[in-house]
Amino acid sequence: MKSRINIILVILLILFSNLISEAQWIQQNSGTNQNLYDIEFLNEKTGWAVGDAGVVIKTTNGGINWNYVPNPTPTLSPNLWSVEPIDSNIVYVTSSGDFIMKTTDGGLNWRVLHSCPECNSSTKGIYFMNKDTGWILGAYKVFRTYDGGETLDSFYVPWFTNFDIFFKDINTGVFCGVGRVFKSTDKGENWINTNVPTNGSFPFFQKLGHSDENIWVGGSKMYKSTNFGDNWFISNNVIGAEGLTFINDLTGFTGGGQNILYKTVNGGFNWYRQRTDSSSLAFISSIDFVNDTVGWYCCAVGRIYKTTTGGEFLTDINFNPIKLTTENYELYQNYPNPFNPSTRISYAIPKEGFVTLKIYDILGKEVMTLVNENMQAGYYDVEFNASSAAGGLASGLYFYTIKSGSFVETKRMLLIK
């Protein structure tokens, strides 16, 4: 009798352990330690991810195995920003130098559609409506194709640091960049600023969340439009992450530094933290779901995580979901470090106040101001790009200092070119 009870207890423990593990975001073995910038799935089985050093990886079993896909970019344009799988055979990948490549046989062979090594421009955003019709976003330009990239028509866009693009139909699309969202109603030939209410700041809008007529962008705050960019309002004053996706009009996810992920179930007005790998500080760069429960996100240093339950909320002692809050001032170590040319700096402020975040060289000379504005309480994340500083920056030791009220903290970082 006692042995039977023990067996039952063991079975219950195994079932409970499986239930707990399935409710969390589980790390997968990506096979790489390179930073990953985009992850996209066709269905629950087949997905792609791309990142630094020309890394293209593919899975056909939901991420149980990720396989490296040989391609020409390690020697041509190694930092890959976006991947767009159309079906099991056709996939597009973009990179720096206005580089665009395509496979029509699931990655066995690749063809370069466009490349401009001397161009100081990166094609970071890409969206295809079908295998032939798509748009690729770069600095001051957007490419449009109606024949799968055989012909690329280039149109001027009035912005430079651009990240993500989406079209709801053949005529109407939007793209986001630093502090701006632009809209086109003529197939991408002309673009107008939609005037997101950033009050003169320039948050990094790196991803577009979209569902029907709703659009979201997140930087220092979460901004939302319910009429495809014609009007905007702030849906949340606290959230400060940039990896972003929405499954439908109500449910979305956003993530950023320190492997911190949040979920909303009311259209972006309230965000609650997800239970993620607490041992990782990797920056969350891209999130993708194939249905309400099955999704993945990718990070720096090659990390990929998967959920099959829509994630799990962190809860307090009374099992109430933990809302996005912070109790202390925090300045986190930049990541990656050392870096070249860009790195990310995360910080937290517990109450509304004026915040400055500045970069200094080893002699104490200020070289750049990253933040200089009044901010709500919350977690924030900002990119520092050394090539954006006046005259550029040489390799060496630099310092970054945050000030808010009486709080002051400084950390070091190393630029290696």
CATH number at residue 339: 2.60.40.1930
Q: Among 118-127, 163-172, 323-332, 356-365, whose mean pLDDT is lowest? A: 323-332
- Alpha carbon distance 138, 257 (integer Å): 25
Q: Are residues 302 and 339 in the same domain?
A: no
Query: Cβ distance 169 to 156 under 8 Å?
Result: no
3-class SS shares of the chain: helix, strand, coil, % to 5? 10, 45, 45
Nearest by Cα to 295 from 284, 285, 280, 308: 308
Q: Are residues 339 and 403 in the same domain?
A: yes
Query: Cβ distance 121 to 78 under 8 Å?
Result: no
In a domain, 378, yes or no: yes
Q: Which of 275, 307, 339 is the last residue of a domain?
A: 307
Q: Are residues 196 and 275 in the same domain?
A: yes
In a domain, 323, yes or no: no
Nearest by Cα to 403 from 380, 371, 367, 381: 371
User: Residue 89's domain is classified under what CATH number?
Assistant: 2.130.10.10
Q: Are residues 335 and 385 in the same domain?
A: yes
Q: Are residues 214 and 359 in the same domain?
A: no
Res. 39: pLDDT tops 80: yes
Nearest by Cα to 258 from 243, 279, 236: 279
In a domain, 2, yes or no: no
Q: Are residues 337 and 383 in the same domain?
A: yes
- Alpha carbon distance 72, 86 (integer Å): 20
Number of domains in the chain: 2
In a domain, 21, yes or no: no
Mean pLDDT of 124-136: 97
Q: Are residues 49 and 177 in the same domain?
A: yes
Residues 68-103 have pLDDT tens digits of: 999 999 888 889 999 999 999 999 999 999 999 999
- Alpha carbon distance 386, 51 (integer Å): 20
In a domain, 122, yes or no: yes
Q: Which phi and psi angles does 162 have, rounded to 5°?
A: -120, 150
Neighbouring-strand partners of residue 49: 39, 57
Q: Are residues 297 and 353 in the same domain?
A: no
Kindly provide the b/e burial profile for residues 147-183, where b requires at least 16 CB atoms within 10 angstroms of the residue's own CB.
Answer: ebbeebeebebebebbbbbbbeeeebbbbbbbbbbbb
Q: Among 62-66, 76-80, 166-170, 301-305, whose mean pLDDT is lowest? A: 76-80
Q: Are residues 216 and 96 in the same domain?
A: yes
Residues 222-267 have pLDDT tens digits of: 999 999 999 999 887 767 667 999 999 999 999 988 898 999 988 9
Q: Are residues 48 and 151 in the same domain?
A: yes
In a domain, 314, yes or no: no
Res. 155: pLDDT tops 60: yes
Q: Are residues 275 and 363 in the same domain?
A: no
Query: Cβ distance 312 to 277 under 8 Å?
Result: no
Q: Are residues 335 and 301 in the same domain?
A: no
Q: Which of 274, 307, 340 is the last residue of a domain?
A: 307
Res. 11: pLDDT tops 50: no
In a domain, 71, yes or no: yes
Supply the range of the domain harboring residue 363: 330-415
In a domain, 54, yes or no: yes
